[in-house]
Amino acid sequence: MLSLGKLLELTLAGREPADKTQVTVEGVRLRWLGEGALEVRPPEALDNGLDLLLSAGIHGNETAPIELLDALIADIAGGTLRPRARVLFLFGNPPAIRRGERYLEQDINRLFNGRHAAASGAEALRAAELEQFARVFFSLPGRTRLHYDLHTAIRGSKIEQFALYPFKAGRRHSRRELARLEAAGVEAVLLQRKPSTTFSAFTYEQLEAEAFTLELGKARPFGHNGQVSLDRLRQRLWQLIEGCEPPLDAELQSLQLFGVAREIIKHSEHFRLHLPDDIENFAELAHGYLLAEDLAQTRWVVEEQDARIIFPNPHVKNGLRAGLLIVPEAGEGLE
């Protein structure tokens, strides 16, 4: 296997490879672009026109997707996976990955779409660098652009594998892309209705890629992800990379769709989220339930039918989202 197939090993050690470019026997070119960044190019005659960005480790303790990308890179470097697509692999926050922590100073996934310019520190610089890696990778005209940003959640979830589909005014969500997620084992998709500061939102809004944040189970340390089954996702990524994806069923028979009803914003240190510490994502909330309180008699009461909560976190910084109140959607606006 080519040494660039050990991108994770290099990243964990904080080392640069001796050879920045290597070529497999089949003519696939691997190029190290910087820490945690590897570009893969198929032979020109076999290139099918897909540019696929796969990122993981934006939060350093979310190891299952990091291990998944590591396995795909090793398969490419070993010659068993033969790309027909261009692929960019990114490990998002190497210092946090090395320490097994979500982040060191600030959440990188709140720093995209220009938010890093108003921040400081190493993680703001890394967000800018990740944007530049993506911008250059998606700069070739006339190609299909797809980005999966792979995560695991802080807490358990009643729906284990789900995705967030970013929003851009005037652009409709794609039924075909939802069918691809369904085939990859994703059980639910949250269709967002306002701009965001996540990595997938940046590539979707600014670079015209189809882009998703994928939540793939609960965050665990390296080597402890046996309970997270990513077989269907791995198979679909393999097919995308090799250019052998089977036809998609656009009926979306088993995929659940949700929309954001309201964001719960923490305004002060007086904020109180009235939920158990161990509540799971997609937990149902009763109509009339007092969900949260803050200063100036600010109250969030559940008014929506069939409401659920995802990403509840009362410990975020003031001004940030402490949870999302979501409701089922019919998907009437899909393209």
Long-range contacts of 8-16 (CB under 8 A, 24+ apart): 8/66, 8/67, 8/69, 8/70, 8/73, 8/91, 11/35, 11/36, 11/91, 11/94, 11/97, 11/98, 12/97, 12/98, 14/94, 14/98
Burial of 198-220, coded b for 16+ CB within 10 Å and e otherwise, reads: bbbbbbbbbbebbbbbbbbbbbb
**Quick one: how far is CA 231 from the chain centroid?**
17
Residues 6+ apart with CB under 8 A from 243: 46, 48, 50, 83, 84, 85
Computed over its alpha carbons, how large is the radius of gyration of the chain? 20
Please compute, for residue 27, the number of CA atoms within 13 A of its CA located in the half-sphere on the CB side. 7
What number of other Cβ atoms are within 10 A of residue 186's Cβ? Answer: 25
Query: Locate tokens 């964990």: which residue?
Result: 12
What number of other Cβ atoms are within 10 A of residue 109's Cβ? Answer: 23
Catalytic positions: 215
How many residues does the structure list for the chain?
A: 335
